[in-house]
Amino acid sequence: MTYVDWEIKGRSFGNCNCSYGCPCQFNALPTHGNCEAAVGYQIDEGHFGDVKLDGVRAAGLYTWPGAVHEGRGTMQLIVDESASDAQREALLTIMQGKETEPMATMWSVFTAMCDAVLEPLSRPIEFEVDVDGRTGRLSIPGVVETRGEPIKNPVTGAEHRVRIDMPHGFEYALAEIGSGTTKAMGEIKLDFEASYGQFNNMHLTPTGPVRN
């Protein structure tokens, strides 16, 4: 099958309700039996056909009653209000798993595992992420507030660095792991603290992550 030519290079910070290791990364069941997450994206370079996506920000809120692969989830996408109509449509197409090889990206997987896809929002998005430094901030007024920081040694207080290498994953090649805290107060309600934080660079196409 032929897909629209698209490519995204950027950075991502996400926080879910599981413990720091995130069982999903190891084909295990969620820490608390369910999965909830907030994720922010900064596109540094990108296009969807002729539509440039450089500089566009977006976010996704997700919740599943069990493990992601069991389905029955609910999701809502948010695109920064500064995006043009063409950019917004292009990015929503990608983030809803369209014009993508089935299950090749996290967006394709997440959408396939959600029965309820809420109306996308156009809102001002404040987003900062330092992948190597394991810090991040996602702020969408009235919708979600998420912060990330390095995991701290409980005895010394020193920063603890852990990375996950995924040679065959659908989301990233390498991710830095930290601690995150999220409060979502819109249609999707989330509330967790000092749980799994993920900081990673993105390089995605219709066939999945590009690995060097």
Amino acid 126 reads: E
29-55 pLDDT, tens digit each: 999 999 999 999 999 999 999 999 999
Per-residue confidence band for 175, with pLDDT thresholds at 50, 70 and 90: very high
9-18 pLDDT, tens digit each: 999 999 999 9
84-96 pLDDT, tens digit each: 999 999 999 999 9
* Cα-based distances in Å from 69 to 40, 73, 170: 22, 10, 14
pTM here is 0.96
What is the rounded CA–CA span in Å between residue 40 and residue 15? Answer: 9
As to burial, measured by CB atoms within 10 angstroms (0-12 exposed, 13-18 middle, 19+ buried), residue 102 is exposed
Instruction: Find all residues with CB under 8 Å of 15, minimum gap 6, and list them.
Output: 37, 38, 39, 146, 148, 180, 181, 182, 192, 195, 196, 197, 198
What is the rounded CA–CA span in Å between residue 51 and residue 91? Answer: 10
pLDDT at position 42 is 98
142-153 pLDDT, tens digit each: 999 999 999 999
Computed over every residue of the chain, the mean pLDDT equals: 97
